[in-house]
């Protein structure tokens, strides 16, 4: 008897939960249908009705019901295709639902539908999501749109530089990084100096590349990787005097930095006699 009562009670609880969810679904779609009918009869979307539906959709999003939210927003979009609030929520729902490319495209649609300037930050979201799917052309486009409105965002300049680097647009990457550097309120870190050196080297600005690596070595004088990068750059410039000085500096480092065989290999590689 106890087992039967327990099973019956479990079924009752399940049915109550199912009814509650069905009721929520029903009310949600009745609202959408009524709103759609109103739009068709009046030939325009009532702001009040839009806000009412958006509140219901936000409630779905808070409950992690993103598929339901997407369905409602798509229905709204049919009648309000250029409403930036609808598009922004749809993009966010796509992103949360792991539909990344749709999220990126919809974030970008939002900025073009915006007539007030209140939704332009979505260009940054579009750029980030385009990067997630490896579309660096679109990411760079959206970063540039964003930076037209928010030119003092140094992190966005650095992000644009990374996207341009992945596209092998080396001059554009260097220019974007320099714009970000100009906005710094502190001295460059060693990491930033090395990054700037790499960008200069890729853009065929070898002397500038060497300069920034040497500046980094003034701070981290035992960083073997920076020495090796600079040797490569000096070799590119056929700068034999600098090559000799760099290898001598490497030889003077702690003996654990490089083995004698490694140093002899470098001397041979760069045209010096092994010792």
Whether 31 has a pLDDT exceeding 60, the answer reads: no
More confident residue, 246 or 13: 246
Predicted pLDDT of residue 52? 87
Averaged pLDDT, 174-185:
96
Q: How far apart are CA 205 and CA 183, in angstroms?
A: 22
Q: How far apart are CA 73 and CA 54, in angstroms?
A: 8
Q: How far apart are CA 40 and CA 207, in angstroms?
A: 67
Could you tell me the pLDDT band of residue 15, with boundaries at 50, 70 and 90?
A: very low
What is the per-residue pLDDT across 199-254, written as a single tens digit (0 to 9) for each?
A: 999 999 999 999 999 999 999 999 999 999 999 999 999 999 999 999 999 988 87
The whole-chain average pLDDT of the chain stands at 85
Helical H segments across 43-169, by residue range = 47-62, 66-79, 84-96, 100-113, 122-132, 136-149, 154-166
Q: What is the 3-state secondary structure (H, E, C) of 148-199?
A: HHCCCCHHHHHHHHHHHHHCCCHHHHHHHHHHHHHCCCCCCCHHHHHHHHHH
Predicted pLDDT of residue 46? 66
This prediction has a pTM of: 0.79
Architecture of domain 55-147 in this structure: Alpha Horseshoe (1.25)
Whether 40 has a pLDDT exceeding 90, the answer reads: no
Predicted pLDDT of residue 44? 44
**Integer angstrom CA distances of residue 172 from 208, 229, 245:** 16, 22, 33
Whether 2 has a pLDDT exceeding 70, the answer reads: no
What is the per-residue pLDDT across 52-93, written as a single tens digit (0 to 9) for each?
A: 888 999 999 999 999 999 999 999 888 888 999 999 999 999
Predicted pLDDT of residue 162? 98
More confident residue, 275 or 93: 93
Percent above pLDDT 70 for the chain: 82
Q: Domains of the chain: which residue ranges?
A: 55-147
Round the CA-based radius of gyration of the chain to a whole number and report it: 30
Q: How far apart are CA 140 and CA 165, in angstroms?
A: 10
Instruction: For CA atoms 107, 113, 119, 121, give the dihedral sign.
Output: positive
Q: How far apart are CA 81 and CA 62, in angstroms?
A: 24
């Amino acid at each position: 008897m106890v087992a039967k009562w327990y099973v019956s009670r479990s079924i009752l609880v399940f049915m109550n939960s199912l009814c509650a969810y069905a009721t929520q679904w029903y009310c949600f779609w009745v609202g959408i249908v009524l709103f759609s009918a109103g739009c068709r009869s009046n030939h325009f979307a009532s702001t009040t009705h839009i806000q009412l539906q958006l509140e219901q959709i936000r409630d779905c999003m808070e409950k992690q019901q993103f598929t339901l939210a997407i369905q409602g927003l798509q229905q709204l979009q049919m009648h309000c295709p250029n409403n930036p609030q609808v598009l922004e929520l749809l993009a966010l729902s796509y992103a949360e639902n792991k539909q990344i490319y749709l999220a990126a495209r919809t974030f970008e649609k939002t900025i073009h539908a915006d007539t007030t300037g209140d939704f332009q930050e979505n260009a940054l979201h579009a750029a980030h999501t385009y990067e997630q799917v490896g579309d660096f052309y679109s990411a760079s486009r959206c970063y540039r749109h964003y930076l037209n409105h928010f030119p003092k965002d140094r992190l966005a300049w650095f992000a644009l530089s990374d996207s341009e680097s992945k596209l092998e647009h080396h001059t554009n990457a260097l220019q974007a990084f320099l714009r970000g550097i100009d906005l710094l309120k502190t001295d460059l870190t060693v990491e930033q100096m090395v990054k700037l050196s790499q960008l200069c080297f890729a853009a065929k600005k070898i002397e500038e590349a060497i300069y920034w690596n040497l500046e980094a070595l003034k701070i981290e004088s035992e960083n073997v990787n920076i020495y090796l990068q600079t040797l490569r750059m000096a070799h590119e410039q056929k700068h034999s005097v600098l090559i000799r000085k760099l290898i001598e500096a490497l030889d003077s480092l702690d003996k654990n930095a490089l083995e004698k065989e490694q140093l002899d290999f470098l001397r041979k590689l760069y045209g010096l006699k092994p010792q």
